[in-house]
């Protein structure tokens, strides 16, 4: 069995075990949070009951397991709006509440769950009872007759990606040549856009995986040669993009959006695990969706990129937004080394739900499931101590290889703190500076103001109270590089880095300025509200560049 198949089986067994052992509620469902979770878990239980290896491993009765899966799937299908006169015809409720039968329909379940239902029926139909086949056919017919996906491309986002895949799948299934052709044209337009300008949704999780699932479903279902060729080309582009920002289960670099289970700790890692398999499968998986049931092999170029991090690399790219929220190009900068990545987005943009995450130091997924991203920011709209994803509007950055400098003003009415998240590790403090070792990476962190640290279950929370502008300088170094510089321990590293404490000063215009000499002897300077400057840049940087920010 291929490695990816065995890794998928791990996921199937893990999810099926939970579904088998979890008792049903009086509604006939496992949970009343998100209806899709019931559909996903039932799918995994059905898949396990169809696999003797998995069912034997779990010690489950295959017929009983399939009966339970069929029961839950049937109950999910019953909650679909079947009223043809309804504006929500074909939809399901999302959050089910206390009374699932009275929950209001929502567009989102149909968007993703619709194409997955078609795939599920195709893959496991031979094991399903005729009654469920009939219910699935009726649900898919209602989805087809609905209008939610019959829209034109505008934003090239994850919603439209799913609509395009839906047009292809329903056009093919129902022999609707006009719909199939609309899907074909949308697919070609999407592929052209991604090839020419890249993905407008940068680091958007979990929505990137919705692109992967939707188009993999279409690739598996639509048996039309030229359409499958375009689908394969698009999936190759998507996996090459993913590999660029991949580091042993982590998603590196700036992000336009992330849900709480993906920041500051990468939790949505099942698709990465199946594809790359260079980290252990966590015991607690989030948003697995169909990662254990769907698979498209990434091209060799993507595998090489994801696995080859022995030499440092700089990745600079232009992000061309397509929607209405952002009307200017954005520029990303990322330095990737063997054990960490440093960088982010030069421009601050208030995107959907104020979830843009501009910069951080990313580390591989950690065995203890602790956070694997280090960052400090000024809190903004939507921020809470329990949800440190929402940043303030202001701030200026300088990215230079493994160094990040961030300066933040303090205006009337703004939160007077800088807040940060640090991964757990070995940390030592000297005044306003911290020196740490996180697995095989050394980190020096210098703050302009005093700060407090609070240790939590999976992270260390940093809070810096200030009365004026403030900032932070961070330099990261792999242990291998540190040894070459004769820094063999955290104590050695700290002893050296205390000699590099930045010079903070106030300019003639009372604007904060910082000057920092990094370990390579380069002087970096940044003044708040001015363009970032780099002086004394070495002409012998041992890095490879990719892309262009001009």
How confident is the model over 248-307, as pLDDT tens digits? Answer: 999 999 999 999 999 999 999 999 999 999 999 998 888 999 999 999 999 999 999 999
pLDDT digits (tens, 9 = 90+) for 154-204: 999 999 999 999 999 999 999 999 999 999 999 999 999 999 999 999 999
136: nearest Cα among 150, 151, 124: 124
Of 44, 79, 106, the residue at which a domain comes to its end is 106
pLDDT for res 415: 74
pLDDT at residue 463 greater than cutoff 90: yes
pLDDT for res 548: 32
Is the CB of residue 513 less than 8 Å from the CB of residue 490? no
184: nearest Cα among 156, 218, 207, 146: 218
DSSP per-residue codes, 447-475:
ESS--EEEE-SS-EEEEEE-SS-EEEEEE
pTM of this structure: 0.94
The rounded mean pLDDT for the chain is: 93
Cβ atoms < 10 Å from Cβ of 17? 18
Of 76, 106, 136, the residue at which a domain comes to its end is 106
Decide if 26 is inside a domain. Answer: yes
pLDDT digits (tens, 9 = 90+) for 136-157: 999 999 999 999 999 999 999 9
Return d(Cα 363, Cα 374) in angstroms, integer.
8
CA distances from 29 to 75, 92, 292, 321 (A): 7, 14, 21, 40
Decide if 455 is inside a domain. Answer: yes
pLDDT at residue 233 greater than cutoff 80: yes
Return d(Cα 291, Cα 234) in angstroms, integer.
18
Is the CB of residue 443 less than 8 Å from the CB of residue 436? yes
DSSP per-residue codes, 477-546:
EEHHHHHHTT--SHHHHHHHHGGG--EEEE-TTS-EEEEEE-TTS-EEEEETTS--EE-S--S----EEE
Alpha-carbon dihedral sign for residues 124, 130, 133, 139: negative
Decide if 385 is inside a domain. Answer: yes
Is the CB of residue 264 less than 8 Å from the CB of residue 459? yes
pLDDT at residue 532 greater than cutoff 60: no
pLDDT digits (tens, 9 = 90+) for 348-365: 999 899 999 999 999 999
- How many domains is the chain built from? 2
Decide if 3 is inside a domain. Answer: yes
Residue 530: band (very low, low, confident or very high) from pLDDT cuts 50, 70, 90: low
Return d(Cα 360, Cα 343) in angstroms, integer.
6
Cβ atoms < 10 Å from Cβ of 74? 16
Mean pLDDT within 418-430 = 97
**311-315, 414-418, 456-460: least confidently modelled range:** 414-418
Decide if 200 is inside a domain. Answer: no
Decide if 232 is inside a domain. Answer: no
pLDDT at residue 508 greater than cutoff 80: no
pLDDT at residue 405 greater than cutoff 70: yes
pLDDT at residue 347 greater than cutoff 90: yes
pLDDT digits (tens, 9 = 90+) for 73-84: 999 999 999 999
3-state secondary structure at position 9: helix
Decide if 417 is inside a domain. Answer: yes
pLDDT at residue 534 greater than cutoff 70: no
Of 72, 106, 140, the residue at which a domain comes to its end is 106
pLDDT for res 539: 30
Starting at the edge strand found earlier in the chain, the sheet holding 396-400 runs 396-400, 403-408, 470-478, 441-447, 433-438, 426-430
pLDDT digits (tens, 9 = 90+) for 18-30: 999 999 999 999 9
Decide if 261 is inside a domain. Answer: no
pLDDT at residue 540 greater than cutoff 70: no
Q: Name the residue range of residue 451's domain.
A: 306-546
Is the CB of residue 115 less than 8 Å from the CB of residue 166? yes
pLDDT for res 1: 57
Contacts of 532 (CB under 8 A, 6+ apart): 396, 397, 398, 526
Is the CB of residue 167 less than 8 Å from the CB of residue 178? no
């Amino acid at each position: 069995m291929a490695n990816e198949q065995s890794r998928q089986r791990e996921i199937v067994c893990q999810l099926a075990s939970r579904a088998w052992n979890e008792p049903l509620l009086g509604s006939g469902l496992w949970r009343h949070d998100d209806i899709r979770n019931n559909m996903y878990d039932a799918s995994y239980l059905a898949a396990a009951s169809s696999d003797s290896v998995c069912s034997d491993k779990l010690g489950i009765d295959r017929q009983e397991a399939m009966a339970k899966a069929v029961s839950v799937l049937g109950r999910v299908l019953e909650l679909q709006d079947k009223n043809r006169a309804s504006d929500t015809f074909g939809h399901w409720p999302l959050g089910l509440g206390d009374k699932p039968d009275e929950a209001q329909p929502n567009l989102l379940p149909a968007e993703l769950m619709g194409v997955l239902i078609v795939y599920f029926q195709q893959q496991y139909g031979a094991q399903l009872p005729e009654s469920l086949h009939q219910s699935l056919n009726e649900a898919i017919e209602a989805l087809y007759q609905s209008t939610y996906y019959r829209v034109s491309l505008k934003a090239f986002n994850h919603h439209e990606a799913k609509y395009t895949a839906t047009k292809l799948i329903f056009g093919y299934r129902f022999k609707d040549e006009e719909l199939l052709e609309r899907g074909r044209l949308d697919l070609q337009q999407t592929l052209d856009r991604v090839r020419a300008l890249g993905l407008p949704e940068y680091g958007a999780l979990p929505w990137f995986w919705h692109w992967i699932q939707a188009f993999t479903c279409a690739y598996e279902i639509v048996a039309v040669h030229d359409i499958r060729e375009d689908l394969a080309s698009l999936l190759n582009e998507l996996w090459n993009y993913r590999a660029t920002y991949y580091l042993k289960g982590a998603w590196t670099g700036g992000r336009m959006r992330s849900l709480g289970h993906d920041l500051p700790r990468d939790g949505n890692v099942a698709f990465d695990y199946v594809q790359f398999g260079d980290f252990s499968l966590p015991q607690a998986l989030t948003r697995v969706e169909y990662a254990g049931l769907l698979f498209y092999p990434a091209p060799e170029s993507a595998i090489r990129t994801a696995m080859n991090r022995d030499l440092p690399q700089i990745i600079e790219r232009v992000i061309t937004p397509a929607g209405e929220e952002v009307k200017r190009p954005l520029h990303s900068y990322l330095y990737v080394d063997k054990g960490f990545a440093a960088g982010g987005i030069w421009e601050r943009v208030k995107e959907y739900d104020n979830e843009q995450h501009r910069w951080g130091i990313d580390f591989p997924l950690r065995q203890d499931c602790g956070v694997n991203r280090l960052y400090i920011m000024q809190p903004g709209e939507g921020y809470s101590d329990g949800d440190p994803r929402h940043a303030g509007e202001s701030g200026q950055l300088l990215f230079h290889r493994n160094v990040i400098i961030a300066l933040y003003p303090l205006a009337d009415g703004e939160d007077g703190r800088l807040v940060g998240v640090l991964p757990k590790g070995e940390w030592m403090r000297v005044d306003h500076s911290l020196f740490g070792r996180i697995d095989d990476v050394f980190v020096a962190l210098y703050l302009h103001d005093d700060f407090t640290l609070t240790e939590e279950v999976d992270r260390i929370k940093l809070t810096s109270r200030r009365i004026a502008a403030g900032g932070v300088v961070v330099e990261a170094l792999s242990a291998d590089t540190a040894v070459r510089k004769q820094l063999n321990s955290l104590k050695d590293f700290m002893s050296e880095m205390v000699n590099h404490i930045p010079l903070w000063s106030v300019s003639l215009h009372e604007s904060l300025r910082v000057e920092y000499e990094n370990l390579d002897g380069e002087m970096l300077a940044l003044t708040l509200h001015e363009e970032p400057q780099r002086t004394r840049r070495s002409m012998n940087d041992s890095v490879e560049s990719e892309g262009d920010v001009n």
